[in-house]
Amino acid sequence: MALDSYVSLGRSGLKVSPFCLGAMNFGEDGGMGCSVEESEKILQTYLDRGGNFIDTANFYTNGHSEAILGDFFAARPGLRDRLVLATKFFGNLHLGDPNGGGAGRKAITGQVEESLRRLRTDSIDLYWLHNYDWSTPVEETLRTLDDLVTAGKIRYVGFSDTPAWFTSKAHTMALLRGWTPITALQMEYSLLERTIEGELIPLAQDAGMGVLPWSPLKSGYLSGKYTRDQTTPADAKRAAVLGAPSQAQFKVIDALAAVADEIGSTSAAVALSWVRNRPGVSSTLIGPRTLEHLESNLAGLDVELTARQTATLDEVSAPTLNFPHDLNRQVGAMLKYSGATVDGEKSHVYPPLLQSTDRY
């Protein structure tokens, strides 16, 4: 697969690359990003390979990430309109201002104008709510976003890192009131973080939302640079923030490395291929800080895992999901089908029915 093998974002009309270029590391504000020069090299290489989907947020590197993208597009007339540009609102860049961030009307309208100015564009293709705002009525958020769509300042709405119950409520409300619905969900998802499989991915599949996983390498834990003998990567500053993988996580890391060795690839490429091919996933977010990181990530487009290799990774990384997921899958089938074989899978029989012969 190549970056120009475009896919639909959920059931929307938006077509995007299978890997989305995340610009969280563009800019050195905060001390862990990359320079403007390196950011532009990463951008240009991604575009040269056929990529068309770029994602950032208003507060990434204190706004510098958006400014780098805006300057890059301004220097290349016509390029911006050929891309799908996404950014997020919620982060407050104004110390002490209670209305500077969040999802209220005043906050959103202020944030979108600031993002448009930094991005040097008239519209944002996909505008993400970056977090759940418990203090703002969802009606206020949705109506404000719909007004921005009507005004032509944004085109699609997405939710990032929001609970399933809230996301479902918001999407249903938008549909019932004729407001712009939620097109996509951006959530953490990797071999080391699979709990969204309990409710968020089923919700997205049912509602037609595209899923855009972030941190598919679990902050570098799945990149191949961590082994049982080497638990601290070369970047000591990031390691100090993130810590080292746990023993339970190393079980997954070891299995991943074994599959990578088997097919002559890297742990990073295999981990990205696994995420890219999960049910419900439209595009996968990669966030390189160097050109080398980008090239390593793009190798994930060339990896095709066998059913056996996928099953191995599925098993070793199997998550514990919230109640009532297991009850619904196990007891639900037993009570519903009572020993019948459905869709090729035989159900168990509820024990009291083993001797039942319609006695009542």
The single-letter code of the amino acid at 14 is L
Residue 41 CB partners (closer than 8 Å, separation 6+)? 291
Distance CA 279, CA 13 (A): 19
CA nearest to 109, candidates 138, 80, 134, 140:
140
Instruction: Identify the H or E element spanning 122.
Output: none
Strands 210-214 and 182-188: parallel
**How large is the angle between the packed helices 64-74 and 36-48, nearest 10 degrees?**
60
Q: Is 144 helix (H, G, I), strand (E, B) or coil?
A: helix
Of the listed 60, 156, 189, 226, which one is catalytic? 60
144-to-136, 140, 171, 264 alpha-carbon distances in Å: 12, 6, 14, 50
Give the pair of three-digit tokens for residue 248. Answer: 């339970």
Is the bond leading into 324 cis (omega within 30 degrees of zero)?
Answer: yes
End-to-end Cα distance, the chain:
59
Q: 189 an active-site residue? A: no
Answer for the pair 216, 189: CB distance below 8 angstroms, yes or no.
yes
Q: What is the DSSP letter of 223?
A: S
Neighbours of 354 (CB within 10 A): 8
Answer for the pair 108, 90: CB distance below 8 angstroms, yes or no.
no
Among all residues, which ones are annotated catalytic? Answer: 60
